[in-house]
Structure 1
Amino acid sequence: MIRMILLTVTLLYSCMFMQIARAENSDVLYVRITQTPAVVSVVATLGSKQKRFRVPHPVNSIHSDFKTLWKKLDEWEVTAQDVAQLNRYEEGLLRPMAHLLDQAEQIHFVLDQTTIDYALGLIPYRNKPLFLQYPISYSLNDVSVTADGFYSASWRGLSIADPTADPDNASALLPEFFPKSRSYQMADVSLSQFKAFRKQDVLLLSLHGVRDQLNGAMDFNAATLTDRDLKHFGAQLIYLDSCQMGSAYNFIQTLRAYDNRFLIAPLFSNEAGDSSSATIQGFFSQLKLGHSPAQAMYQVRRQLFERYRKSDGVNAAYWKAFPFRVYQQL
Structure 2
Amino acid sequence: MSTTPPHPSASKDAAGPRIAPGPPPAVHARGLTVELPSRDRPYAAPLRAVQELDLTVPAGQVTALVGANGAGKTTTLRTILGALPFSAGSLEVLGTAMGPARVAVPQGVAVVPDTPAYPERWTARKVARAQAAAGPFDLARFEARLTAHRVPLDRPVGSLSRGQLTQVAVAAALARDPHLLLLDEPFARLDPLARTDLVDELRELMARGDRTLLLSTHDLEGMDRFVDHLVVIAGGRAVLEGDVETLCEEFLLLEQPSDLAPGSDAGSPLIGPAATGGTMRGLVAVDDAAGLAPDASLRRPTMSELVTHCLRAAGATSAPDTTTAPATTSRRDES
Give 1 or 2 for the bigger CA radius of gyration.
2
Report if TM-score (shorter chain) is over 0.5.
Answer: no
Normalised by the length of structure 2, the TM-score is 0.27
